[in-house]
Amino acid sequence: MYRKFTLDSLLRLFPISGLSYSLAIISIFLLSSCEQDDCNYSYISYEPIFMSYDEFRSVPVELENPRPLEKVGKIYFYNRYLFINELNKGIHIINNSNPAAPVQVGFLNIVGNVDMAISGNILYADSYTDLLVIDLTVVTNPQLIQRIDNTFNKQIFGNNGYADPNYGIVVDWKQTEIVVTGNCDEEDIMYEDGLGTHQGNGNPSTGISGSMARFTITQNHLYTLNGDNLKPYSIINPIFPEAKSKIELGWGIETLFPYNNNLFIGSQRGMHIYNLDAPSEPRFISTYEHITSCDPVVVSENTAYVTLRNGTNCRDGLNELHLIDISDLENPFLINTKSMTNPYGLGVASQTNNKTLFVCDGDAGLKVLNVTNPLNVQQIGADTSINGYDVIAHNDILMMIGKDGLYQYNYQDPENLQLLSIIPTE
C-alpha cells in the first residue's frame, strides 16, 4: 500500500541542491510496509543537461530539411508563409499560398527558440538568452545577420525545476527514479502537478501573430516580454534593433497584442493597456483586473476578448471568456462572460454585419462564437475532435495550431467551417 506525499513534505525530509532540483512531477508514494518506523520514498528526479554558452552560440542558425511537427508552440503568418515554433528547437517554415495544400519548405534550426516576429523580411527570434536578427529575403536561404547576447533572462526555472545559469544553457532534463528511506510519520498529502514557468494585428510589411505571442511589432518597434518586463526596441534600422526603455509590469505577464496605437498585455492578474504615442516609452493607461488565471487577449474595435483558464501555472482561476468594453481605455469594464472548458488562444474576424470569435478550448476543441452583439454571445460552431493552442484568422482562412498539428479552415460561412488541410504532429 502507498501513501501520497507533498513535494514540500518530501523536501523537509530530504533537502536537495539548486542544481539538481528533484521534482515529483508524478505522484510521490510512500511504501507503508515499514520496519522500525522507516519507509521507502520513491520520486522522480530531473537533472538539467547543460550546454555551454560558447557551444550554444556556435550552433549554426540555418535552414534544414523539413521535419515533422512534434511539440509545437507559437504561430506566425507573413507574406504567404506560416512560421510555427517547435519548442526550444526552431521554426517550421510552410508555404501557405494554397491553404488547402500547404508545403513545408524547411526547418530553421534555432536552439532555444520560443517567440518570433517579422517585419520587412527581417525575422526577430529569441534563442534562449539571445535575440537573433535573421534576413528572410530569400525564405529558402535565411541568413543570420546578428546575435544580441544576453537579452533575455531565461532558463532559471523551467518546467522541471531550478537550474543554475552559471552552468550554461539547459537543453534537456534527465529523468531518474530515486528511492530513499525516511520517517513514516510525515503527513500524507497528494502532490500531482509539476512546477512550471509560464511562459495581432499586422500591416502589409509586418506579419500577424497568434494571441499567445510575447513578441510583437508595431510603430517601427519590436516589443518583447522578458520575464516581468516589457522591452521595446526601435527597428527603424531593422537589422540593428536599438534597445529603449524597460517597463516593469509586475508578475505573471504573458502575452502582447497591438491595436490602434495601443498595446494590450495579458497577465495572470488582468489586462494592462499601454499607449504607444511615444513608441519607445509606452505609457500606462489602465488595468482590467480579474481573478488569477492565464490570460491571452485580442481586440477588435471597442471590445477586448480575454480567455481565462486555470491549471498548474494559472492557479485556481476560472475557465471563462471575458468580453470587455474598451471604448474608454481609462475605464475598461466587463460586459459579458461565457463559460469555457480550458481555453487558450483566440482570434477574431470581422465580416459584413458579423463578428466571429474563434477560441481554442483545450480538450473541448475549437469553438466558433458569434460576438456581433457582445451582450448576446452565441456559439455557432465547433470542431470537438482537436486540441487547439492558438489561432490566426485572416482573409477567411483560420490557421490553428495545437497538440494535434496545424489545421486550416475556410470560415467564409462561420457556422459551417470547411476543413482545408491538416499537417499532423508526430
DSSP letters, 71-82, are SEEEEEEETTEE
pLDDT over 70, % of the chain: 76
Name the residue among 153, 46, 60 with its Cα closest to residue 108.
Answer: 60
Please give the Cα distance from 191 to 11 (Å, whole number). Answer: 12
Q: CB atoms < 10 A from the CB of 14, how many?
A: 13
Model pTM above 0.95 = no
Residue 176: per-residue pLDDT = 72
**Distance set, CA 307 to CA 126, 167, 255, 313, 321 (Å):** 25, 38, 12, 15, 5
Q: Which segments within 79-120 are labelled E, that is strand?
A: 81-86, 90-95, 103-109, 116-119
- Give mean pLDDT, residues 6-14: 40
> Poorest-confidence range of 181-185, 231-235, 324-328, 368-372?
181-185
More confident residue, 347 or 153: 347
**Per-residue pLDDT reduced to its tens digit, 126-174:** 999 999 999 999 999 999 999 999 998 764 444 445 566 677 777 777 7
Please give the Cα distance from 281 to 303 (Å, whole number). Answer: 25
Q: Cα-flanking dihedrals φ and ψ of residue 58, to 5°?
A: -90, -10
> Poorest-confidence range of 94-103, 105-114, 166-175, 214-223?
166-175
Residue 122 has pLDDT above 80, yes or no: yes
64 falls in which pLDDT band (50, 70, 90)? very high
Residue 287: per-residue pLDDT = 94
Residue 160 three-state SS: coil
32 falls in which pLDDT band (50, 70, 90)? very low
Exposure pattern of 113-141 as b/e (b: 16+ CB <10 Å)? bbbbbbbbbbbbbbbbbbbbbbbbeebee
**45-59, 104-118, 171-185, 242-256 — which one is most confidently predicted on average?**
104-118
Residue 231: per-residue pLDDT = 95
Residue 201: per-residue pLDDT = 46
Residue 24: per-residue pLDDT = 38
Residue 178: per-residue pLDDT = 64
Please give the Cα distance from 205 to 202 (Å, whole number). Answer: 8
| DSSP symbol at 54 | H
Residue 11 has pLDDT above 60, yes or no: no
- Contacts of 203 by beta carbon, 8 Å cutoff, 6+ apart: none
- Give mean pLDDT, residues 270-282: 95
Residue 27 has pLDDT above 60, yes or no: no
**Distance set, CA 107 to CA 71, 94, 304, 400, 423 (Å):** 14, 9, 34, 19, 14
Residue 262: per-residue pLDDT = 97
Cell of 223: 516589443
More confident residue, 32 or 120: 120
269 falls in which pLDDT band (50, 70, 90)? confident
Residue 113 three-state SS: coil
Residue 57 three-state SS: helix
Cell of 239: 537589422
**Domains (ranges, CATH) in the chain?**
2-51+168-183 (no CATH), 53-154 (2.40.128)
**Per-residue pLDDT reduced to its tens digit, 189-237:** 323 333 222 224 445 478 999 999 999 999 999 999 988 899 999 999 9
What residues are paired with 44 via a beta bridge? 177
Please give the Cα distance from 366 to 343 (Å, whole number). Answer: 9
Which helix (H) or strand (E) segment holds residue 9: the answer is helix 7-13
φ/ψ region of 107 (left if φ > 0, alpha if ψ in -120 to 50, else beta) reads beta
Residue 39: per-residue pLDDT = 63
For the chain, what is the mean pLDDT? Answer: 82
Looking only at Cα atoms, what is the longest distance across the chain? 77
> Poorest-confidence range of 120-129, 237-246, 292-301, 393-402?
292-301
What residues are paired with 177 via a beta bridge? 44
**Per-residue pLDDT reduced to its tens digit, 291-304:** 556 678 999 999 99
**Distance set, CA 236 to CA 26, 128, 137, 218 (Å):** 49, 25, 17, 11
20 falls in which pLDDT band (50, 70, 90)? very low
Contact 310, 291 (CB under 8 A): no
Q: CB atoms < 10 A from the CB of 335, how many?
A: 14
